[in-house]
Amino acid sequence: MKAETIARRPPITATPDAKIKEVARIMAEKKIGLVVIVDKSQPDVAVGVVSERDIVRAVAKGVNLDGPVSAIMSTPVITVEGDEPVWKVAEVMRQHNIRHVVVTRGGKLYGVISIRDLVAEEPVLRSLVEFGRGERHEEYAPAGD
């Protein structure tokens, strides 16, 4: 199964000058955990992302929520191409410790996949098991290995 198959489309976007509180409102209304920040002149180019974690950190630090979202957005944007297998999406999320990944097609914004999307449907889980690569984690390896 490919990333583009489960990517949520269209992605919810905002521009870098959007207010932080406006992006938070969008997240609450749409019940999403990530907004893709796009270039004003090129709305198919992701320049950053804002996640729920970014909003919480901003609130905790006392950041002015009327300020631009560019002040708290995460960059660079972690992406996968739409034709990548879903196991690759899961691997990218694990490597970068993220819960969302931006999907592109030919380098242009296509959609977003959340960790919930990966585990929500049985065919995706089967694909992860079938094509995923087993990996040994040091914290679980017996001493001396």
Distance from C-alpha of 82 to C-alpha of 106, rounded to nearest angstrom: 8
Asked if residues 3 and 113 have their Cβ atoms less than 8 Å apart, the reply is yes
SS3 10: coil
**Tokens describing residue 100:** 């969302």
Please state the rounded mean pLDDT for residues 73-97: 94
**Could you name the CATH architecture of 3-139?**
Roll (3.10)
The upper half-sphere exposure of residue 56, i.e. CA atoms within 13 Å in the direction of its Cβ, equals 5
**Tokens describing residue 16:** 């870098």
% of residues, the chain, pLDDT over 70: 83
Tell me the whole-structure pTM to 2 decimals: 0.83
Q: What is the pLDDT of residues 102-125, one digit of tens each?
A: 999 998 999 999 998 888 766 667
> Tell me, what amino acid is at 115?
I
Q: Is the preceding omega at residue 76 within 30 degrees of 0, hence cis?
A: yes
Q: What is the pLDDT of residues 34-52, one digit of tens each?
A: 999 999 999 999 999 999 9
Asked if residues 27 and 114 have their Cβ atoms less than 8 Å apart, the reply is no
Extents of the domains making up the chain: 3-139
**Tokens describing residue 8:** 């949520």
